[in-house]
């Protein structure tokens, strides 16, 4: 019995170790001539549920073609499902399937503009302590008047009910990076805010960073609804709270949409924002964060793009 238990534990730890993955990969190549992001920009954000539905790839191609977004934030993307979307970007690795050659899952940020800096922020903790970590990807882009935009593609930890200390740690890691930036910010993605306690942690972060949540969305965003009043009570789920959200600093919302695609368990969210030059962007107490072992990479591929990975 003890021997069998030891074998099972060894296998379990082996699977957990095999799931570990980190770093970023350039997806497609940026055009040799790259313009700054426009002051009026459109963002598409979507949790793609690991591309389980075979229709999702065509849906994504159609969305990019029809709406021509300037930024695309995708969560739960698998490397074996990536294809050309007429945009370039970076994929941040979260974890890999535990078999040789298994695909990697993470987040993907696409744009037509070169980022001047990229930084993946992987969680210290795993869901249920042993399952999978999460990763968010921060990219910084030039804007037309010399400022830079910090674009934050977020995927927050799930499955903590009463005391979300792992989520709190993840948000603190993000704040250390975002607190350095004094210019415009867009933070969007799957926040897994299915309880009031979890939403309060996100809103507290937004308040400290002077981010405002974009509201006015029609019905249709994914929620944590479990179709059971008992389960809602046991796990502290508020069935009407959306999981997919958009926060910004220095922008005003022009339009918001929840698109009707059902090839994922989340629906895509589309927002158009315009830079507000009159908005006070001064931080009361900006955080000072330095990179440990920063790596400056220049001349990536043949296109000469420059960025910094912290």
Give the three-state DSSP class for 159.
coil
CA–CA gap between residue 243 and residue 223 (Å, rounded): 5
- pLDDT for residue 244: 97
- pLDDT for residue 206: 98
- pLDDT for residue 245: 98
Point out the least confidently predicted range of 122-126, 128-132, 253-257, 286-290.
Answer: 286-290
Above 50 in pLDDT, residue 22?
yes
Q: In the CATH scheme, what is the code of domain 22-309? A: 3.60.10.10
- pLDDT for residue 257: 98
Question: Could you report how far apart the first and last alpha carbons of the chain are, in Å?
Answer: 47
pTM value > 0.85: no
Q: Is 208 exposed, middle or buried (0-12, 13-18, 19+ CB in 10 A)?
A: middle
- pLDDT for residue 287: 45
- pLDDT for residue 62: 94
What digits encode the pLDDT tens for the residues 227-236? 888 878 877 8
pLDDT confidence tier of residue 95, bands split at 50, 70 and 90 = low
CA–CA gap between residue 46 and residue 61 (Å, rounded): 13
Give the three-state DSSP class for 140.
strand
What would the mean pLDDT of 74-98 be, rounded to a whole number? 76
What would the mean pLDDT of 193-208 be, rounded to a whole number? 94
Point out the least confidently predicted range of 18-22, 34-38, 78-82, 160-164.
Answer: 18-22
Q: How many CB atoms are located within 10 Å of the residue 158 CB? A: 20
Domain residue spans of the chain: 22-309
pLDDT confidence tier of residue 279, bands split at 50, 70 and 90 = low
Above 90 in pLDDT, residue 49?
no
CA–CA gap between residue 76 and residue 133 (Å, rounded): 12
pLDDT confidence tier of residue 126, bands split at 50, 70 and 90 = low
What integer best gives the mean pLDDT of the chain?
80
Above 90 in pLDDT, residue 8?
no
The residue written with tokens 């962007």 in the block is 281
Above 50 in pLDDT, residue 134?
yes
Above 50 in pLDDT, residue 159?
yes
- pLDDT for residue 19: 66
Above 70 in pLDDT, residue 297?
no
The tokens of 28 are what? 């497609």
- pLDDT for residue 47: 96
Give the three-state DSSP class for 232.
helix
Distances (CA, A) of 309 to 107, 181, 194: 16, 15, 32
CA–CA gap between residue 141 and residue 70 (Å, rounded): 11
User: Using an 8 Å Cβ cutoff, are 184 and 146 in contact?
Assistant: no
Residue 43 has, within 13 A of its CA and on its CB side, a CA count of: 31
Length of the chain, please? Answer: 310
- pLDDT for residue 94: 61
Point out the least confidently predicted range of 51-55, 133-137, 155-159.
Answer: 155-159
* More confident: 277 or 153: 153
Q: Is 250 exposed, middle or buried (0-12, 13-18, 19+ CB in 10 A)?
A: buried
- pLDDT for residue 173: 92
pLDDT confidence tier of residue 86, bands split at 50, 70 and 90 = confident
- pLDDT for residue 267: 97
């Amino acid at each position: 019995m003890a021997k069998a238990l030891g074998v099972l534990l060894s296998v379990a730890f082996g699977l957990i170790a095999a799931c570990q993955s980190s770093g970023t990969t350039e997806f497609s190549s940026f055009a040799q001539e790259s313009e700054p992001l426009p002051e009026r920009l459109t963002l598409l954000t979507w949790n793609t549920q690991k591309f389980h539905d075979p229709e999702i790839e065509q849906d994504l191609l159609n969305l990019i073609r029809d709406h021509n977004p300037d930024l695309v934030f995708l969560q739960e993307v698998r490397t074996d499902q990536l294809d050309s979307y007429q945009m370039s970007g970076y994929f941040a690795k979260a974890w890999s399937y535990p078999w040789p050659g298994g695909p990697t899952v993470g987040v993907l940020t696409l744009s037509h503009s070169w980022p001047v800096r990229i930084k993946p922020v992987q969680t210290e903790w795993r869901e249920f302590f042993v399952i999978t970590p999460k990763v968010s990807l921060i990219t910084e882009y030039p804007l037309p008047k010399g400022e830079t935009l910090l674009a934050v593609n977020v995927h927050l930890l799930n499955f903590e009910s009463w005391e979300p200390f792992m989520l709190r740690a993840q948000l603190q890691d993000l704040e250390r990076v975002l607190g350095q930036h004094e210019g415009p910010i867009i933070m969007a993605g799957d926040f897994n805010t299915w309880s009031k306690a979890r939403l309060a942690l996100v809103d507290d972060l937004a308040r400290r960073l002077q981010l405002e949540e974009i509201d006015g969305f029609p019905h249709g965003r994914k929620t944590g609804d479990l179709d059971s009043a008992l389960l809602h009570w046991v796990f502290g789920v508020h069935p009407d709270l959306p999981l997919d959200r958009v926060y910004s600093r220095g922008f005003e919302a022009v339009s918001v949409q929840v698109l009707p695609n059902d090839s994922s368990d989340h629906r895509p969210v589309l927002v158009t924002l315009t830079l507000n030059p009159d908005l006070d962007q001064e931080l009361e107490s900006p955080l000072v964060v330095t990179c440990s072992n920063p790596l400056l990479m220049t001349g990536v591929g043949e296109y000469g793009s420059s960025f910094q990975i912290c």
